[in-house]
Structure 1
Amino acid sequence: MRSIASSVSPRGIAAIVGVGPRLGLSVARKFAREGYTVAILARDLGRLSTFADEIAREEKAQVFAIRIDCSDSRSVREAFETVLSLGFVEILVYNAYQPTVANNNQPCPTNFADIRLDTFQKSVAVSSVGAFQCAQLVIPGMVERGRGTILFTGCSASLHGIAGYSELCCGKFALRALSQCLAREFQPLGVHVAHAVIDGNVGSPRGALTSEQQQGGGRGWTVDPDAVAQTYWYLHTQDRTAWTQEIDLRPSDPRFF
């Protein structure tokens, strides 16, 4: 764990699981800017510590970097024991998945016959079993306080089977089902659960793009993570008489319609 300041915000903790240099980082930065203590969790503690320093410096916020392997139930439990030792979790954002990746760190297709059972099981574990366990660890405190937000990051693979993406689709289908079940069980108890379908590749924040990329020059640069983070903030601050349970996010590029 990496501590950046001395006391937890009275607003509580925003726990962001699956923090990389794009969406996870943008979401963590947004909630830090809004006054929350932020716990960022992923497997690479060294990179997380760099992110924590960056967010703390830029947003004048308290940030904790905590290692987690979402495919390992013991790792998840120990990570959230650390998170909960800091205070109460007001927001859980689950953004983790285990893709087969190409050199540009984007998911790439795999022939079904070439998928190994252990890699399939790990992908499903990261996308859905880890989400189940994280939610189970924070929901009791949310129910006790009568408030809290859980946001699950999905994608187009949450809705449609895609050739070559069996691992990703099966995990994301399960995550969507989990979100719907939790929303119906815990919304009456004050816990807002929502699933975001991000239909497009998440690129770098718009300020980091070239003019060509900003105009839709490549599929890898189609969704601005800062814009998605703003939507996550909107979901968290919705009035409970009109909660969103699922939202689709896609660029205005006509190729996505």
Structure 2
Amino acid sequence: MTKPIAVIVGAGSGLSAALARALAPDYDLVLAARQGARMAGVAEATGARSVTLDATDAAAVGRLFVELPAAQRVAIYNPSARVRGPLVDLDPDEVRRATEVTAHGAFLTGQAAARRMLAAEPVDGRRGTILFTGASAGVKGFPQSASFAMGKFAQRGLAQSMARELHPQGIHVAWVNIDGAIRNPGRTEPPDAPDSMLDPDAIAQTYLHLIGQHRSAWSTEVAVRPWVETF
């Protein structure tokens, strides 16, 4: 039997790689990212197909989903961008670009994924799951991080709106608040603070849980944070 399809937009060596490893046993994977080289190792290790993609290009995002051999059962949006600095010094064009990646790209992926799912017949009343990788910036804005807060707040609102519209049509939508630093390759924790950063493989297990939730108890938002993170 052919495996269902899972699409991960924004593929790299950290959380995206962990998600790919977690999904690979049960799904045919499609990894999409702006820089193809970042996907090569993950694609080879998981048997995934890789696609070079600008997540802010509406036509390209649409083609990604339309050209799938069947409707995807899972779609995950990971990309984000930010411009740091005092509000009065921020370059408006750089801020616009950052919000395009974090918010508008999420909309494009969510829209294209939902269209493909809605056109397919449901399985046991379900058409699939769309997940957005959020951050604590979508709950509280931090100093000198206006562009990131703008993008993540918009992304969170998008997920809430999509959930209310699409849940009754069999599509599970959720936003995952990554509330803390991720232990990505090249980032280490202080020796005296074990597990003070989020383990990407542990985060991936939360995504798997969301994908497998019974529709009578779908989550729309989940926050994950290290045990020592302050609230």
With normalisation by structure 1, the TM-score equals 0.81
Q: Which residue of 1 aligns with 2:22?
A: 30
2:160 to 176, 180, 184: 180
* 3-state SS, counterpart of residue 149 of structure 1: strand
* 3-state SS, counterpart of residue 41 of structure 1: strand
Summarize the alignment of residues 4-83 of structure 1 with structure 2, pairs less than 5 Å apart.
10-33=2-25, 35-56=26-47, 63-82=48-67
Shift of 1:238: 0.5
Question: What CA deviation, in whole Å up to 9, does each residue of 1:97-142 have, x standing for no partner?
Answer: 1134xxxxxxxx3121222122111111111111111111121232
Contact 2:31–2:39 at 8 Å: present in 1 too?
yes
Q: Which residue of 1 aligns with 2:139?
A: 159
Distance 2:98 2:188 in 1: 30
* Greater percentage in helix: 1
Question: What percentage of aligned pairs have identical amino acids?
Answer: 34
Q: Which moved more, 1:10-19 or 1:155-164?
A: 10-19
1:215 to 189, 194, 209: 194
Q: Amino acid of the residue matched to residue 70 of structure 1?
A: A
Distance 1:186 1:67 in 2: 28
Question: What CA deviation, in whole Å up to 9, does each residue of 1:31-77 have, x standing for no partner?
Answer: 102x2001111111122122211223xxxxxx111111123323323
Distance 1:249 1:92 in 2: 19
Contact 1:11–1:90 at 8 Å: present in 2 too?
no
Distance 1:81 1:115 in 2: 37
Gaps of 5+ in 1: 1-8, 57-62, 101-108
TM-align CA RMSD: 2.0
Shift of 1:234: 0.4
What is the number of residues matched between the two proteins? 225
Q: Which residue of 2 aligns with 1:97?
A: 80
Q: Which residue of 1 aligns with 2:116?
A: 141
Shift of 1:211: 8.6
Distance 1:90 1:70 in 2: 19
1:169 to 137, 145, 149: 149
Alignment CA distance shift 1:210-1:89 (3 Å): same
Distance 1:75 1:214 in 2: 43
2:103 to 123, 128, 144: 128
Q: Amino acid of the residue matched to residue 165 of structure 1?
A: S
Gaps of 5+ in 2: none
* 3-state SS, counterpart of residue 145 of structure 1: coil
Distance 1:209 1:37 in 2: 32
2:130 to 150, 154, 162: 150
Q: Amino acid of the residue matched to residue 150 of structure 1?
A: I
